[in-house]
Structure 1
Amino acid sequence: MRVLITGGYGFIGSHVADRYFKEGYDVFILDDLSTGNKEHIKFKHKSYIVSVEDKKCEEIFRSYHFDVVIHLAAQVSVMKSILDPKRDTEINAVGLVNILSLSHKYKVGKFIFASSAAVYGANEQLPLQETNRCNPISPYGMSKWLGESYCEKWRELYSYESVVFRFSNVYGPRQGNTGEGGVISTFLERITEGKYLDIYGDGEQTRDFIYVGDVADAIYRTSNSNLSGIYNLSTNSEISINELVGLMEELHGETEVAYTAAKEGDIQRSSLSNEKVVNDLDWSPMFSMKRGLEQTYEWIKDKKTKQTSEKTVTSSKKAPSLFKQFQPYIENVLVFSVIAWLTLANQVSVLNIVDFALFYILIIGVIYGNRQSIIAVCLSIGLLIFEKILEGRELISLTYDTSFLLQVALFLSIGLIVGYSIERKNNLLKEQKSKLEEHEDRYSFLSDMHAEMREVKKELQLRVLNTGDGLGKIHYLLKELDTLDPERIYLNSIDVLQKMMKVKKVSIYKFSNDNASYKLVADSGSFKSSATLKVEDDYVQQIANKKSIFVNKTLLPNAPLMAACLSNGEEKIALITIDDLEFEHISLYHENLFKIITELIEAALVRALHFQSLSEQEHFLAQSPVLKESVFQKILQTKREAYTKFQIPYLLLEGMINEETFIHDVTEISKEIDETDYIGESNEHHLLVLLANTSKQAGEQLVSRLSEKGIVLKLVEGEL
């Protein structure tokens, strides 16, 4: 089984991931690492470094069918939510809606959302129960309450059940210093460092602390239960900060405590009732406060030991050396010093100095850009002035010396032009580099997804082959569908269904762009199929609206024996129908076999169409529906094979390309042909039109209609 944990590299998420891995689940983690740490997870898992509100999340859900999704990713700092409520809402509200919507869309069995006791606000009706009024006092609490509302609305609108846990103050190993639970990790950190503890107020304020291991246990149990709704997750007990310090001193020894003024708005007492979850889930916390503190204390001591051993290595990897930062200035001054020395030693004349200075400004500007070129200009002008003074000229006389002013203007113009040009070039390079990195990131993401899909496919192949069952033939099916060409998938699907199902008639219909019909794209050719299925037809509606396969048990007239609608989420792609199945093969076994095959065809087709949409620009001539020659020839070859194997008819029309009327001709041709037909170019500067499932008579009629519009095409291949 597969579990997706958002925020899985975080404090709570990593413990939840550990628990599911130990129970034999395939663990997938989605985290943007804003607070998480990859070092928390030591076992083999699938990792996606993506924010929960990112559109890339759909790629992950589309590629895997998760059994459980646990949404822990959140902005958890109350102070940050006050300082930046917009970002808090983006992560905690928008991110939740994205993951919740995808979980519903891709039929995730169990969705678990981590809420917080912060939704109750300053409520003094202790212990707080799920029915108590919510009145959050911070944007963080508001966003969590809003998240709970979304989960409830998804149940009302879409009948999608979820479980919401309102955590009390969670503590344990791997915790940072944020949130109320962070009090324990903060205090233990200071104690191990020999520092005093700051306590706000008199220390008698209470909190309901729960160990992270108990939280992970409750979440795991929930994923294997029928639980739904809102639950507190707590120990149903209170402990004061003074009592907490006393337990810590038992572990470490006496420590100094400093009491300061209480924080404004700080809640004096907090405790959540866990009666509902104890009764409904048959769960109870296993870790006492003392045992939980011992576990956390030992982890912090181990962490301090590791940090001490790594301190030397870390200190050697600090900021880049000062030399690299000042290298352009140093080299600029060195080159200028050579020119100045030649000048002051009377090695070159003033005229040559001008030549040398221009060359110096040009080189520095080209190498280092605008800033260094301006410095070079200033230094060169200074050197020129100094030379004039050595000749006995006065500074005031230089202001009306046209020769001097011309030289200064020359220095400035060269420096500014070269500096600006190089700076502009560098900015363009940075912009292109940024775009390249963005595309590389997208490519890397898709490449990783593809690699993981291939791993899953290989694993599935091995499992199927090792069963010893007749379904080992699915290995052959997977090989046939291992392509990114939709036309090839349509063709191979017919072959696969005929061989696997031992059925004579197979038809595949593609959903039209006008959403009004299904167009025939492939057919076994055993006997004539309808070229179009209308969406409003009763049996077509039954097939398209069924979540599983359609079986014609009521013997509807004109309906196929079995059919399946292929879709990408809510978007319909195609319809597969089979007929003329031998009587002994009309069984539940063959129904299940048909379901498995069509699901694999659907997965292959979704992947191929997604790849096609990403690489669409590479397939067509610029700003036209005309396929490039290499792409068109692949489709043509597929049609030829379909004709050879199944006698599926096709026609190839050819005509000369008229440069002046090219766009008009292509537009008119596009209006006349179906969306299952193609327009392409040939290396002989010819325009090609490929008509699928078209008779010679229909082709001749098309040629005639186009001829009336001044477009001359002739039939060159097909039913001649």
Structure 2
Amino acid sequence: MRPDGFREAPVAIVGGSGFIGSNLADSLLSDGVPVLVIDNLSRPGVDQNLAWLAQKHGNQLAVETVDVRDRDVLAPLLAHAKAIFHLAAQTAVTTSLVQPSEDFDINLRGTFNVLEAARRSGRRIPVIFASTNKVYGGLPDVTVREEDDRCVPCDAGIRANGIDETCGLDFCTPYGCSKGAADQYVLDYAKSYDMPTAVLRMSCIYGPRQFGTEDQGWVAHFLLSALSGRPITIYGNGKQVRDILHVSDAVAAYRGVLARIDDIRGQAFNLGGGPGNAVSLRMLIEEIGELTGRTLSIRYDRERTGDQPFFVADTRKIEATLGWKAHVSWRDGVRDLAEWLQRHRLEPEPARYVA
């Protein structure tokens, strides 16, 4: 499908067949907003997301199978977009350590290609970038104490509110460097070229249409492992804490940023479930065991490079600026994902997208 037949400029979602991208596309399409999905379909199973979108939304959806590294093909597709959400990425720290060159090309050069396509269009096209909490590195200055099932910050302010955007950037691992540098490029294009850009530094997003693996999408990975009877490997002691955010709340944040882009351009926001949705790996595994009624097989391995013992996003800035808040509690959200996985992932979906 081509965008030529649209009566109005579409919103382009680069990486739109992925987990967050397909949920964002569905939200926009459901409100009558035409969407152009740009994706190289390299991740196994994402063609199912496109088949779902196409079946549900028909000719309001256009799809171009393009790699973000292919600037000559990418640029004319983005030149007439109403807005650009850039979600395409190499997403695994472990992969970046093995293939740093590919990680660099996808995450940094790919982001540069998106920015240049928007800049050279001569139009003020908003660019909203999916960044990561990894831009803050391992957070060595955040001292923690270990309790029975979790790490707890010693600092009372961090314990109450989480990590805010004033935390110093400290890139670690090739993934952290590529995403962190891309994050800074996106913010600088607002300064240097007066472009309407913004960054969302995400904590752990989970929910339907997620292809969870050991390296990325760990909430879905834990659930799939439990439902399938496979063992779960924990790297470190399992007391690492993250604030998990349901994808419906993440989509609301992305749309909120676009709606206010002229007012907030050039800003970065931490995005996660906040202190109310902070869980350790051990807490989540216990909840999954109760939810599924199964005894989970757990094995432990050494801690991985760049892993943060504690990251909870301080979401007060995005809440105050956009009026956004996380609505789905982590227990309700994990239950929602478990039900979806039982319906759609334990047996492969037969639908495939054909361009």
Within 5 Å, give how 1:459-498 maps onto structure 2. Answer: none
Match of 1:270 in 2: 311
In the alignment, the residues of structure 2 paired with residue 29 and residue 216 of structure 1 have an alpha-carbon distance, to the nearest angstrom, of 16
Task: Map Cα deviations across residues 346-392 of structure 1 (whole Å, 9 max, x no partner).
Answer: xxxxxxxxxxxxxxxxxxxxxxxxxxxxxxxxxxxxxxxxxxxxxxx
| Secondary structure in 2 matching 1:56 | helix
Contact 1:206 1:241 in 2 (8 A): yes
Mapped pair 1:204 → 2:212: no
Bigger RCO (CA 8 Å, 6+ sep): 2
The one-letter code of the counterpart of 2:289 is: E
For 1:264 and 1:149, locate their aligned partners in 2 and report how far apart those are by CA, in whole Å. 25
The TM-score, its normalising length taken from structure 2, stands at 0.81
- Aligned to 2:195, what secondary structure does the other structure show? coil
8 Å contact from structure 1 (residues 169, 180) kept in 2: no
Question: Would you say how many aligned residue pairs link Structure 1 and Structure 2?
Answer: 308
1:183 maps to 2:199: no
Partner of 2:179: 144
Give 1:199 deviation, angstroms. 2.7
> What is the CA-CA distance between 1:178 and the residue it aligns to?
4.0
Does the residue aligned with 1:12 lie in a helix, a strand or coil?
Answer: helix
Q: C-alpha separation between the residues in 1 aligned to 2:100 and 2:297?
A: 34
Greater alpha carbon shift after TM alignment, 68-77 vs 41-50: 41-50
Among all aligned residue pairs of Structure 1 and Structure 2, give the percentage whose two residues are the same amino acid.
29
Question: What letter matches 1:236 in structure 2?
Answer: G
Do the aligned partners of 1:12 and 1:212 also contact (CA within 8 Å) in 2? Answer: yes
Residue by residue over 1:233-265, the C-alpha shift from the partner in whole angstroms, topping out at 9 and shown as x without a partner, is: 111122111111122122211313334243244
Deviation at 1:203, TM superposition (A): 2.3
Equivalent-residue separation in structure 1 for 2:179 and 2:279 (angstroms): 25
Question: 2:91 is matched with which residue: 51, 57, 76?
Answer: 76
Q: Secondary structure at the match of 1:19?
A: helix
Alpha-carbon spacing, 1:58–1:272, altered in 2? closer, same or farther (3 Å):
same
Q: Could you report, residue by residue, the CA deviation over 1:542-598 in whole angstroms, capped at 9, with x for unpaired residues?
A: xxxxxxxxxxxxxxxxxxxxxxxxxxxxxxxxxxxxxxxxxxxxxxxxxxxxxxxxx
Range with greater deviation from structure 2 (257-266 or 98-107): 257-266
Q: Give how far 1:170 is off.
A: 1.1
What are the equivalent positions in structure 2 for 1:2-13 lying under 5 Å apart? 2-13=10-21
Which residue in 1 is equivalent to 2:46? 37
> Structure 2 stretches of 5 or more lacking a match?
1-7, 143-157
Any residues of structure 2 matched to 1:256-655 within 5 Å, and which? Answer: 256-265=296-305, 266-304=307-345, 306-307=347-348
Distance 2:234 2:94 in 1: 18
Query: Is residue 215 from structure 1 mapped to residue 250 from structure 2 by the alignment?
Result: yes
Match of 1:25 in 2: 33
The 2-side partners of 1:179 and 1:131 are apart by 30
The CA distance in 2 between the partners of 1:38 and 1:256, in whole Å, is 31
Q: Distance in 1 between matches of 2:30 and 2:124?
A: 21
Match of 1:115 in 2: 131
**How far apart in 2 are the matches of 1:232 and 1:73?**
19
- Counterpart CA distance in 1 for 2:112 and 2:294 is 48
Matched, 1:251 2:291: yes
Structure 2 letter corresponding to 1:120 = Y
Contact 1:172 1:211 in 2 (8 A): yes
Q: Which amino acid counterpart does residue 300 of structure 1 have in structure 2?
A: L
Indicate how the Cα distance of structure 1 residues 53 and 201 shifts in structure 2: closer, same or farther if over 3 A, else same. closer
CA contact (8 A) 1:76 1:179 kept: no
Q: Matched residues in 2 for 1:80 and 1:187: separation?
A: 19
Call closer, same or farther: CA 1:94–1:200 in 2, change over 3 Å: closer
> What amino acid sits opposite 1:38 in the alignment?
D
Is 1:234–2:272 an aligned residue pair? Answer: yes
Aligned match of 2:120: 105
Q: Is the 1:19–1:220 contact (alpha carbons within 8 Å) kept by the matching residues of 2?
A: no
Residue 49 of structure 1 is matched in structure 2 by 65
Find the residue that maps to 2:285 and give its secondary structure: helix
2:100 aligned to which of 52, 75, 85: 85
| SS class of match (2:138) | coil
Residues 131 and 160 of structure 1: CA distance in aligned 2, closer, same or farther (over 3 Å): same
Measure the CA separation in 2 of the matches of 1:90 and 1:131: 28
- Pairwise CA distance, 1:174: 2.0
Counterpart contact for 1:167–1:234, Cα < 8 Å: yes
2:94 maps to amino acid? M
Aligned position for 1:66: 81
Query: How far apart, CA to CA, are the structure 2 residues paired with 1:96 and 1:179?
Result: 25
CA, structure 1 residues 53+181, in 2 after alignment: closer, same or farther (shift >3 Å)?
closer
Q: Please report how far the alpha carbon of residue 105 of structure 1 lies from its aligned counterpart in structure 2 after TM superposition.
A: 2.4
Specify whether residues 16 and 29 from structure 1 end up closer, same or farther in structure 2 by C-alpha distance, changes over 3 A only.
same
2:181 is paired with a residue whose SS is: helix
Q: For residue 305 of structure 1, report the CA deviation from its aligned partner.
A: 5.3
Partner of residue 153 from structure 1, selected from 172, 188, 195: 188
For the structure 1 residues 281 and 180, does the alpha-carbon distance in structure 2 shift closer, same or farther, using more than 3 Å as the test?
farther
Within a 5 Å distance, the mapping from 1:668-683 to structure 2 comes to: none
Q: Give the number of the structure whose residues are more often helix, by fraction.
A: 1
Residue type of the alignment partner of 2:328 = F
Letter of the 1:195 counterpart: R
Distance in 2 between the 1:164 and 1:179 partners?
26
Deviations 1:7-57 (A, max 9, x none): 000111101101111121110010001126122132221110001121111
Deviation at 1:300, TM superposition (A): 1.2
Q: Return the alpha-carbon distance in structure 1 between the equivalents of residues 178 and 286 of structure 2.
A: 35
Q: Distance in 2 between matches of 1:273 and 1:253?
A: 33
Q: CA deviation at 1:108?
A: 4.1
| Rounded Cα–Cα distance in structure 2 between residues aligned with 1:215 and 1:179 | 22
* Matching residue of 2:153: none
Task: Give the whole-Å Cα distance in 1 for the aligned partners of 2:227 and 2:73.
Answer: 42
Matched to 1:101, the amino acid is E
Deviation for aligned residue 1:6: 0.2
For structure 1, which runs of at least 5 residues remain unmatched after alignment? 311-447, 449-720
The question of whether the paired residues in 1 share the 8 Å contact of 2:232 and 2:298 is answered with yes
Deviates most, 286-295 or 53-62: 53-62
Structure of higher CA gyration radius: 1
Query: What is the deviation of 1:181?
Result: 5.3
Q: 1:131 corresponds to which residue?
A: 166
